[in-house]
Amino acid sequence: MGVNCVISVPMEENKSGQYVITKLQKKIENLGAKKAGHFSVDCETYQSQIPIEGQVKVINNVHDTEYPASTFSFVENGPHLVADNTLDMLFAKMDSFYAPKKNFKIEAKGVRYELNDFLIKVGSVIIGQNTSVKGILLQIDYTPCILYNDSWGIITELLHILGINPNITNFFKSRLEKKESSVDYTDCAQQYLELFNSVRKSMTVNQQPPGMSSSPVMIQGRM
């Protein structure tokens, strides 16, 4: 496992999400990348049914097909843990304490590519049962390198070749700021979670009538 970087790819005006995805996939394939199956990362959100310390607590459980036997569980503004995916069954049993938010399940899925030592994933984001594309995510893993700072020049150069602005997550930024910071198993899930949250936020902003949205206006698909 090397450094992984997940960023959101902006939509294009008057173009479908699928159009942007196909264009990006073409570019990746033109570099000589080989298709290597599919991937999906999803996130189920649970809310505490009884207030804890006067607050409604939120837990996000992330699944990644790259780690099929694990569940990454994040307490909002709190600690996180990695467990066997039987954790999901445990959550199903405690639904009187923590219940899943209805129609809140969010998922990114798409094609996995191998390009030399790079692993590249292009995924469309969908929410709940609705299959329309709500955002596009691009994940680049530079597998031989485990140091964030060391990998950054190489990853930005690849993003540049693909014609994509390196809008990195706050999480990734925080890793770059620390010297000699090396990669951890939960890093990928953390980045997806941050991007999922921003897609959800942009959805709620878009649903409000014009003029009602609280400033500053969120730009869809961006942090």
Positions touching other proteins (CB under 8 A) are: 1-2, 31-32, 115-118, 142-147, 149-151, 153-154, 157-158, 161, 180, 182
Distance, CA of 60 to CA of 30 (rounded, Å): 37
**Using CA of residue 130, residue 134, residue 136, residue 141, what is the dihedral sign?**
negative
Least distance to other proteins from the beta carbon of 143, Å? Answer: 6
Least distance to other proteins from the beta carbon of 184, Å? Answer: 12
Q: Which is nearer to other proteins, 83 or 146 (CB)?
A: 146
Question: Using H for helix, E for strand and C for coil, what is the string for 25-93?
Answer: HHHHHHCCCEEEEEEEEEEEEEEECCCECCECCEEEEEEECCCCCEEEEEECCCCEEEEECCHHHHHHH
Least distance to other proteins from the beta carbon of 118, Å? Answer: 6
Least distance to other proteins from the beta carbon of 120, Å? Answer: 11
Q: Which is nearer to other proteins, 3 or 199 (CB)?
A: 3
**What CA dihedral angle connects 85, 168, 216 and 41, to 10 degrees?**
-20
Least distance to other proteins from the beta carbon of 157, Å? Answer: 5
Look at residues 3, 11, 34 and name the one whose alpha carbon lies nearest to residue 221: 11
Q: Which residues are 46's β-sheet partners?
A: 59, 100
Q: Which is nearer to other proteins, 58 or 146 (CB)?
A: 146
Cβ contacts of 174 within 8 Å, gap of 6 or more: none
Place of tokens 């596009």: 136
Q: Which is nearer to other proteins, 117 or 177 (CB)?
A: 117
Q: Which is nearer to other proteins, 154 or 223 (CB)?
A: 154
Distance, CA of 28 to CA of 32 (rounded, Å): 7
Least distance to other proteins from the beta carbon of 176, Å? Answer: 13
Least distance to other proteins from the beta carbon of 117, Å? Answer: 5
For residue 179, the tally of other CB atoms under 10 A from its CB is: 8
Which phi and psi angles does 12 have, rounded to 5°? -105, 145
Q: Which is nearer to other proteins, 1 or 133 (CB)?
A: 1
Q: Which is nearer to other proteins, 46 or 152 (CB)?
A: 152
